[in-house]
Structure 1
Amino acid sequence: MQSFLYLVVFIVSFFFISLLAVKSSGKVKTGSDFSLANRSLNSAGVSWVIIGTLVGGVSTIGTVQTAYTHGLSAWIFTLGSGISCFLLGCFFAKALREEGVVTVSEYLGNYFGKNFRYYSSAFNSTGMFIHIVGQFLAAMAILQSVFAFSYTTSVFITMALIAVFVVSGGIAGAGTVGKIKFYMLYIIMFISAMVSLYKGGGISEILSRLPQDKNMLSLFSYGTKTAVLDMTSMLVGVLSTQIYLQAIFSAKDVKEARNGAFLSAVIIPPIGILGIIIGLYLRAYFPEVAANSAQAFPFFLNHTFPPLISAFFSAGILLIVLGTGTGLVLGVTTNIYTDFISKISLISDKISALMLLRLCGLFILFLSSCIVFSGLDSTILKWSYMSMGLRGSSIFAGLWVLSFMKSYKNSKLLHFFLYMIPPIYILFNVA
């Protein structure tokens, strides 16, 4: 456990940051407010929602770790995210926003039939759910390292923290979290990168100390085939994930939707570059980190900064992880409610849409915690690489057809192909 002063700073910092994040709770009055912010988001609001969910532990802890082990290829996640957002703004935002739907599955169902709507929604939700469990474990790791909580206590606290963000703010709350995450991310990553350059004697000195037996300045340093597949998964997965597209659906109009996607495309990739600088510095000067490269960034924070600053930064990282988990829960919740529960009139007539959405979100959280408690989480983590692919296999092909080949939308052969992509993808990955 950390020192008493460290714990106090961590708790106070996280409390006040969280207080800012949930301030939008009073604005949520209806189901439309919860799911779509009443379609009122400007371009910045759209970008905050995307950043709040897309940029998380992988963009910080994961990027530093991969930069330490492989170098520049650590940029694939944030670079791929930026390119995806650019493509979203260029080719998909207009059609998605003009359709006036709530879920991407609903959009596809309008053209390929209601059965495909349910089918694609189920796979999309499953892909996001896998990612929720991963965020659970990441947040628990931070809580255990700071407070030495037991496994059970960490699960309950993580569930409670995400529940507060989910229930209070909905999509508007996710946007507020995203805005705060943006500032926290850039403060933490920029200061850390500048300190790395200063302590490392500049980028030239750092590069000269890297291993000469591998090209750590190549985007394909861990294998061209693997890197290309990873980039493709990012491009397809981001363009197929409900919560990112939900930001587009929540925009005030097409212009705001498109500009929000473009703003995200500009903001996200530099975060990866900052993480790479930190990772390369650690690789050059701290070879002992290789024994547990996953702890590279926490090692850097604790080794480089005074305890008070390290505590503040650690509280920020916890918010970053929880924000991503919150956005994913909102995405799954919106899918399940809009595509399935709202169709059951007996339930929807007796309970308000807002209450159903909140209950659905809490159920998703409860189910996630049950998976963690069951001990299946280690297996699910091995399947995490399938998360983006599951979303992409069920959504992306349909989006592509409606954007570029709309004249073929009624083809029975095309419909058969769309149904077959998800099971084929799963078979290839479990074989």
Structure 2
Amino acid sequence: MSTDRKQSGFKQRTRVDDALAALRDAVDPHGRAAEVPLAEADGRTLAATMTAPANVPAAPEAAMDGYAVQASDTFGASDRSPEILRTVDAEPTEEDVGPGEAIRVHTGSALPEGADAVVMIEQADPVADEVEIFDAVAENENVAPAGEDVEEGQQLYDPGHVLRPSDLGLLKSVGYTEVPVFEQPEVTVIPTGDELVQADPGPGETIETNGLTVARFVERWGGDATELDPVPDDEEQLKAAIRSGLDGELVVTSGGSSVGERDLLPEVLEDLGEIVVHGVALKPGHPFGFAVCEGTPVLMLPGYPVATIVNAVQFLRPAIKRAMDAPLPPHPTTEARLDRKIASEPGVRTFARVRLEERPDEPLPAAIPTRVSGSGVLSSVALADGWVVVDEAAEGVDAGDTVAVQDWEANR
């Protein structure tokens, strides 16, 4: 980094959307896929279209406990005048139901050949080798037809779908034991700073938290994280750490990304590759930037914990999804009434941390700002229920306004 840049600071900041577009262009989907067992596929991203190879159920089934019958044998049955059928003492799949006959079945049992309806157990009274039927049933009543759940050839999921537990159950029901998923992008996480220690800080030292936080986010968002120990503010050690991750899809650092004397990462990345963005119109955390080194994007997250989280959600998450060619689902939001005014700087996208509070006789919960400034106060985001995004074009949000509170930790 040049002396001029260190002295002048950030004269211009890239708009968030422009920085995201540039980052998307820099990340190439890796395209690698592998078959994994269903039990290991929760949260993984499908790499192929999944189509049902068979009907579910495969054949008509009883939808109720009762008796499989020919519906025409029950016409006219009532409490006063039950129809009497001969019971066939056999498993449902071992014998057909003929005229005037009934076979005991359970929910999910295969419907015997010849039967076209099921009389519920509550409407039948077995007596010796006969059963009295007290209610008429129509053809196909209380019967689950073949393919009622899933039809053979039905398209179930598209490539890019992120698998959920319910999806795994459905895929198992149609016969899959493994699924093709994109391999997890390899992401190297590098916390930086002379002052960082893992525990028992002395004077002037700080417990390192960003590496743990970012690595777990990487895994939640679908990546495979390699978390390095904190790297001191030394150009050669920083270069070595970054080079160790360039065989993967992404490298992400925290700390050392601004323009101070100890902020060495921009200069290091200029030596290793090309800086594409440095400084974004975002608060907290405007010193974000990224470079491309030997074809691998290297994301620079600011060192303050809140700024690290905001920028990781805004930039690292989309980069991981892009590397897998997976969709980027929007964050779920809660509509709330703002309890206190949020101030913001025009031209800067602001992320104001809030907690939600239900109040009697008010239709919407109150969104109470925990902090707008203070990017080093980790508790302000860890104890919040979400954040309110103030657009660049706005000059704050007034108390009493209805806002959308993003739950940025709710999804993958």
TM-score (norm 2): 0.19
Higher relative contact order (CA closer than 8 Å, sequence separation 6+) = 1
Richer in strand (by share)? 2
Structure of higher CA gyration radius = 2
